[in-house]
């Protein structure tokens, strides 16, 4: 085994030696969109042949979304799992995955919590965001371990020209339940973003405030009661500075956040006095230079640090549970041209530590080396990627992938495959036995293989795409209660034998004159193959819809537009394989330009006041109203 790993490292080292030599001798050629440029480490550049969904600032503004969870909910094949009340955590799911299988990156810094593996999308504001790029396929070779299902990559604005944007919103989110008791969640939000250039220094600021209050219905001692601890108060601040430095460009980013949220529990298992405070901060410093060897070589260095704290109390006056997590890391990257080949590669290192009243003090040291060569020949693009990671607790792990794509003026085809992996989170490994559950130090890393085929057609007024896909996960980690909730044995995270996800997405978009319309369909089969290799009859994974439809129709004039939206999810089952009710939601929206950069947005969701639950025990909003006033100067 040692000789195998040594040979692998030798191959990677040889690649970088060859790349440096080739770049030094290369003649500069025009590769169009593959030209070397600083900041070319987002999915749109690294995963060019893959299905990369790109949402620009204009797309985000038009969507009316205030945070990443709301944006993800509008993407075919993605879902932001919801627990109903305003303070709840919302994690990403790509093609049926868990939140721990989706890596979320902001300006090159990974945000995944080392304790649980996932990211709260509702805590990521769209204020100050320039673009959101999404990969719906395995991407560990590009963005490190954990990207089994995909990546959400966010780039913030650091432009130099003066700008100012503000958004003030308010909403009413009544909960609809079949149990005869409803709750009401009034919400308010404010976001401000601004930037300008001072003496050659690009400065930017984005700040957000979100507040919610209200009641959450639960069953307590056999009676229906409304819990008050379901509110939210959150603050966020992002500061950026960019300037020329050492003949390159240096970018400094500072971010801080705080949230005070109630934790009411579920309908059947309420926690009437529980409360939680989340606080955190991160800092990153990037330096890029793209004019080495007459523009044939670009380099980038990123140094970053993150700190996150969770304080939880089960009841007033109860002992406080505190969980601190800190991460420091560095990325060294280079990209260059060698004839018709665009070469990208780099080295990374990361040190993570957790200090917790529950799991004690634990840590992880990791290093990685990766390469992403890409060849463009006319309308064809071929790319390969590979990454070797080492962690002190799980040793070596490998991620890799390939992509082939072809495009002309109207059609495009792509085939992509990937191997990805994920090391267990600290909570999975070390959570103490508290009666209901405990961690499992014997867990193995998860490994996944995925592939997708993309066929797309586009005209100025009509676009269509179809994406069949498959993902196989070995040693999938899942918390299992072997003897039931009332049994004496605690829940335990275990490695399932295997899980298979397969299906596809289809999308149609029309945009002509005063009418714009979209229609999307998702088919997903998710099977647990632990005890059976019979794919057709293997048990289905719970809560995942087999069929989903979403669409919208907009009618627009110069200064206003109105639209209808609809979403349907069917074919869900619970953990006992019993069928769950289908979900159908109808919405309406209106956008009005008030002139001189001012606009008004009104959104009404769940017009039919449907009573439904995405997660058992957590009722969702009935008829939901949101009003926002925005200014963009």
Per-residue pLDDT band for 181 (boundaries 50, 70, 90) equals low
Band (8; pLDDT cuts 50, 70, 90): very low
pLDDT of residue 18: 40
- Distance, in Å, from the CA atom of 116 to the CA atom of 426, rounded to the nearest integer, reads 7
pLDDT over 80 (residue 112): yes
The answer to whether 381 and 404 are in contact (CB under 8 A) is yes
Whether the CB-CB separation of 339 and 350 falls below 8 Å is answered with: no
36 band by pLDDT with thresholds 50, 70 and 90: very low
Phi (first) and psi of residue 298, to 5 degrees = -125, 145
The whole-number pLDDT of residue 28 equals: 31
- pLDDT at residue 312 in the model: 94
Average pLDDT (468-483) is 90
pLDDT of residue 16: 40
Name the more confident of 358 and 142: 358
Average pLDDT (485-490) is: 70
Q: What is the mean pLDDT of residues 542-558?
A: 95
Q: Which range has the worst mean pLDDT, 39-53, 452-466, 560-574?
A: 39-53
Q: Residue 506 above 50 pLDDT?
A: yes
pLDDT grade for 487, boundaries at 50, 70 and 90: low
pLDDT at residue 522 in the model: 97
- Per residue in 264-289, pLDDT tens? 888 778 888 899 999 999 999 999 99
In whole numbers, what is the pLDDT of the chain averaged over residues?
Answer: 87
pLDDT of residue 183: 64
Global pTM?
0.90
What is the DSSP annotation of 241-258?
EEEEETTEEEEEEEEEEE
Structure tokens at 153: 């990559």
- Is the pLDDT assigned to residue 7 strictly greater than 50? no
Q: Are 540 and 556 in contact (CB under 8 A)?
A: no
Tell me what pLDDT residue 304 has: 98
Q: Is the pLDDT of residue 31 over 70?
A: no
Locate tokens 């129709």: which residue? 553
| Residues ≥6 apart with Cβ < 8 Å to 278 | 120, 123, 257, 258, 259, 261, 308, 309, 310, 311
Q: Which of 273, 229, 295 is nearest to 40 (CA)?
A: 295
- Does residue 182 surpass a pLDDT of 80? no
| Structural tokens at position 213 | 């209050």
Give dist(CA 371, CA 369) in Å, integer: 7
Give pLDDT, residue 147.
92
Q: Counting runs of H as helices and runs of E as strands, what totals does the chain give? A: 6, 36
Highest mean pLDDT among 152-161, 181-190, 325-334: 325-334
Supply the pLDDT for residue 593.
Answer: 96
pLDDT at 260 over 70: yes
Domains of the chain by start residue, with CATH: 2-459 (2.40.170.20)
Q: Is the pLDDT of residue 620 over 90?
A: no
Least confident of 397-401, 498-502, 572-576, 625-629: 572-576
Structure confidence at residue 177 (pLDDT) = 59
Q: Give percent above pLDDT 90 in the chain.
A: 63
pLDDT digits (tens, 9 = 90+) for 85-107: 777 889 999 999 999 999 999 99
Better-predicted residue by pLDDT, 11 or 286:
286
For the cut 50, the answer to whether the pLDDT of residue 523 exceeds it is yes
Task: Please give the angle made by the CA atoms of 407, 409 and 410, to the nearest 5 degrees.
Answer: 85
Share of the chain above pLDDT 70, in %: 89
């Amino acid at each position: 085994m040692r000789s195998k790993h040594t040979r692998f490292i030798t191959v990677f080292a040889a690649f970088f030696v060859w790349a440096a030599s080739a770049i030094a001798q290369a003649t500069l050629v025009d590769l169009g969109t593959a030209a070397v440029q600083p900041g070319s480490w987002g999915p749109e550049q690294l995963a060019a042949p893959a299905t990369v969904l790109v949402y620009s600032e204009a797309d985000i503004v038009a969507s009316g979304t205030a945070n990443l969870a709301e944006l993800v909910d509008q993407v075919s094949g993605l879902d932001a799992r919801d627990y109903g009340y305003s303070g709840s955590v919302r994690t990403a799911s790509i093609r049926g995955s868990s939140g721990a299988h989706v890596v979320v990156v902001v300006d090159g810094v990974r945000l995944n919590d080392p304790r649980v593996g996932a990211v709260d999308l509702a805590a990521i504001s769209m204020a100050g965001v320039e673009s959101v790029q999404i990969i719906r396929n395995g991407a560990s070779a590009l963005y490190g371990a954990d990207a089994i299902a995909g990546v959400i990559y966010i780039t913030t604005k650091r432009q130099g020209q003066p700008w100012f944007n503000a958004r003030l919103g308010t909403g009413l989110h009544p909960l609809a339940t079949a149990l005869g008791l409803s709750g009401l969640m009034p919400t308010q939000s404010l976001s401000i973003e601004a930037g300008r250039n001072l003496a050659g220094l690009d400065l930017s600021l984005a700040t957000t405030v979100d507040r919610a209050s209200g009641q959450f219905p639960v069953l307590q001692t056999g009676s229906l009661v409304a819990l008050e601890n379901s509110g939210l108060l959150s603050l966020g601040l992002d500061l950026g500075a960019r300037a020329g430095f050492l003949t390159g460009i240096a970018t400094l980013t500072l971010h801080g956040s705080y949230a005070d949220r109630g934790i009411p529990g579920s309908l059947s298992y309420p926690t009437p006095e529980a409360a939680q405070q989340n606080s955190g901060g991160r800092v990153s410093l990037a330096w890029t230079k793209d004019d080495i060897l007459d523009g044939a070589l670009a380099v980038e260095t990123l140094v970053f640090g993150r700190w996150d704290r969770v304080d939880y109390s089960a009841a007033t006056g109860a002992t406080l549970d505190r969980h601190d997590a800190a991460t420091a890391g560095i990325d060294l990257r280079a990209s260059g041209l060698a004839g018709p080949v665009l070469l990208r590669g780099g080295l990374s290192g990361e040190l993570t530590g957790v200090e917790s009243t529950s799991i004690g003090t634990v840590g992880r040291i990791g290093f990685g080396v990766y390469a992403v060569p890409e060849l463009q020949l006319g309308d064809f693009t071929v790319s390969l990627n590979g990454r070797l990671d080492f962690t002190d607790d799980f040793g070596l792990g490998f991620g890799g992938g390939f992509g082939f794509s072809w495009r002309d003026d109207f059609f495009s085809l792509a085939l992509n495959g990937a191997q990805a992996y994920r090391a267990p989170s600290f909570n999975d490994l070390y959570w103490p036995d508290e009666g209901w559950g405990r961690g499992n130090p014997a867990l193995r890393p998860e490994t996944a293989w995925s592939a997708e085929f993309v066929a797309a057609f586009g005209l100025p007024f009509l676009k269509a795409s179809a994406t069949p896909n498959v993902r196989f996960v070995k040693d999938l980690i899942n918390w299992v209660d072997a003897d039931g909730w009332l049994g004496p044995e605690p829940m335990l995270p275990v490695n399932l034998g295997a899980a298979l996800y397969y299906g596809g997405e289809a999308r149609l978009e029309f945009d002509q004159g005063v009418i714009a319309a979209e229609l999307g369909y998702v088919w997903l089969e998710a099977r647990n193959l632990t005890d059976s290799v019979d794919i057709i009859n293997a048990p289905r994974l719970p809560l995942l819809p087999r069929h989903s439809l979403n669409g919208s129709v907009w009618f627009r004039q110069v200064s206003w537009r109105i639209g209808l939206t609809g979403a349907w999810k069917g074919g869900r089952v619970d953990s006992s394989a019993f069928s769950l009710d289908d979900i159908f939601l109808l919405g309406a929206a209106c956008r009005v330009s008030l002139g001189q950069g001012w606009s008004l947005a009104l959104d009404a969701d769940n017009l039919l006041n449907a009573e439904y639950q995405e997660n058992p025990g957590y009722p969702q909003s009935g008829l939901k109203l949101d009003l926002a006033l925005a200014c963009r100067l």
